Amino acid sequence: MKANMGKPFVVSSLSILSICLLVSTLLPQYVKALPLSTNSRWIVDQDGRRVKLACVNWVAHLEVLVAEGLSKQPVDVISQRIASMGFNCVRLTWPIYLVTNDSLGSLTVRQSFQSLGLVESIAGIQANNPSIIDLPLIKAYQAVVSSLGNNNVMVILDNHISKPGWCCSNFDGNGFFGDQYFDPDQWITGLTRMATLFAGVTNVVGMSLRNELRGPKQNVNDWYRYLQKGAEAVHSANPDVLVILSGLSFDKDLSFLRNRPVNLTFTGKLVFEVHWYAFTEGQAWVNGNANQVCGRVADNMMKMSGFLLDQGYPLFVSEFGVDERGTNVNDNRYLGCFLAVAAELDLDWALWTLVGSYYFRQGVIGMNEYYGVLNWNWCDVRNSSFLQQISALQSPFRGPGISETSTHKVIFHPTSGLCILRKSILEPLRLGPCSESEGWNYTPQKTLSPKGTYFCIQADELGKPAKLGIICSGASNSKWETISDSKLHLSSKTTSGSAVCLDVDSENTIVTNTCKCLSKDNKCDPESQWFKLVDSTRSSTMTKPSLLINSILDFSANEILSVA
């Protein structure tokens, strides 16, 4: 369920190509040991090593039936950009009619745009992607999948809708089996054809059977009847792909699976998907206290879908996203909570959306997509700080084969996407890349200590940097409790007895301040004080602090302990 965001503005797609430069960054780890399968709640490769899906949604299900953006940039430039932003996967949408409606299936890309009067888009594709302009629509779709594969990006084929168009509403005729445009037999035929078409295409790693089931006809019994039939059809046609099942009520509700599992003839391929947006809760994030809303929404998510992890199934958040202009308070408050939960559970996910603008959406030519990670011309990142915020979640914290070191905690700050780092005993704690975070122990006495040391985080005074101290046992300023409904505040007492919470100052130094927003105040923003203790088995990429300093301090600690 996507909000109706965006207004068009006109810039020639041909005039921007020369000014668009790709930014080279580290590419995500590409999985060569394909196909993928499941091992309890984890998705794994053929070597049994955990593969975390860190995807972005690329829209190809609207009336034009062509992946968005190809009038703005060459397909390989877009694919390279996806990889350079740290995504290892694309959830590529498609409508059933693409492969079941003969009149649509016979159209070329040029003819499809001509039928909608999109003359400028034809010129843009002719300039940027001339090799596809006269291809049949399905061949153009295959070309996009091929380009992603050439750039080491996995693909999940997402059946988003039956009749091409914007999704989703309760009454668009595409919501549930038996709706005007949602014939179950036609749906099975479409799934089978797509699964067959992409059999042997190694970077196609999964098929999502249907997006956001919804509407007045939805019911649990038909969900089992048809989703199980669809799953069997896909697996029979292409046993290599993961089979991904969505829930009811716009993919918010999988609660019916708690006591009634699906019954399939195959194993090791089943994944469930869920969607989570701020507007899922209306305007609750604006109207309510952020801590209370976060606690309530996170608990509800676990009741509706998160319990599947404990039952041994992977859970894929196949849509989440925000208005990337940064001005939507409802979205901004939700995002920190979502990222904290996604980090704690180490979820697989797909961001909505890659798309910076649409050829034609809801009657509007060139509509701007403010949820898009790329801007209107598909050239630049819309909001680089947002990419920083999600970057820590693009790599797995744990899972099969990710046992580089023993289980420990990283202290994740979702508002920045960074983690607490210590450079040495002589420097203050600061935020930095989570990949550089060493392990922290959270002891039964509720102290936070760097692994392998006698130090612990201590509260000093209000507004002062939190420090590493050495007298930890029994000291009130060394005990850190998770408080508030969100469970995202780490609270202690200063030596003078004042209650404080970990906070971040303007220079990313970890300080202690009065705890924010614990009451019902809905105007207060607590997110600088939101931290999540995340289980990890990843080793740090950072050079360890000076061994000389450590050895001296460890010796001192032993001396102190022996005297005590």
β-bridge mates for residue 38, sequence order? 43
Residue 310 near residue 544 (C-beta atoms within 8 A): no
Q: Which residue has the tokens 């309530």?
A: 296
Q: How far is it, in rounded angstroms, from Cα 316 to Cα 205?
A: 14
Cβ-count burial of 109 within 10 angstroms (0-12 exposed, 13-18 middle, 19+ buried)? Answer: buried
Q: How far is it, in rounded angstroms, from Cα 124 to Cα 289?
A: 47
Question: pLDDT of 274-328, one tens digit each?
Answer: 999 999 999 999 999 999 999 999 999 999 999 999 999 999 999 999 999 999 9
Residue 498 neighbours by CB distance under 10 Å: 14
Q: Which residue has the tokens 């070329």?
A: 108
Residue 30 neighbours by CB distance under 10 Å: 15
Residue 110 neighbours by CB distance under 10 Å: 15
For residue 133, how far is the Cα from the chain centroid? 32
Q: How far is it, in rounded angstroms, from Cα 257 to Cα 247?
A: 9
| Residue 58 half-sphere exposure toward CB, CA atoms < 13 A | 27
Question: Angle at Cα 182 formed by Cα 179 and Cα 187, nearest 5°?
Answer: 155
Q: How far is it, in rounded angstroms, from Cα 221 to Cα 213?
A: 13
Question: pLDDT of 436-466, one tens digit each?
Answer: 999 999 999 999 999 988 899 999 889 999 9
Which of 214-218, 287-291, 539-543 has the weakest average pLDDT?
539-543
Residue 155 near residue 203 (C-beta atoms within 8 A): yes
Q: How far is CA 66 from CA 61, 175, 265, 429, 452, in A?
A: 7, 22, 35, 49, 55
Mean per-residue pLDDT of the chain: 91
pLDDT at 30: 55
- The SS3 assignment for 491 reads strand
Q: How far is it, in rounded angstroms, from Cα 172 to Cα 180?
A: 8
β-bridge mates for residue 159, sequence order? 94
User: Per the structure block, which two tokens stand in for 538?
Assistant: 């990843």
The mean per-residue pLDDT over the stretch 487-510 comes to: 95
Q: How far is CA 99 from CA 34, 159, 419, in A?
A: 26, 11, 46
Q: What is the greatest pairwise CA distance in the chain? A: 87
Question: pLDDT of 165-207, one tens digit each?
Answer: 999 999 999 999 999 999 999 999 999 999 999 999 999 999 9
The mean per-residue pLDDT over the stretch 343-365 comes to: 98
Question: pLDDT of 147-159, one tens digit each?
Answer: 999 999 999 999 9
Q: What is the DSSP letter of 302?
A: I
Q: Which residues does 107 contact at the CB level (< 8 Å), separation at least 6? A: 65, 115, 136, 137
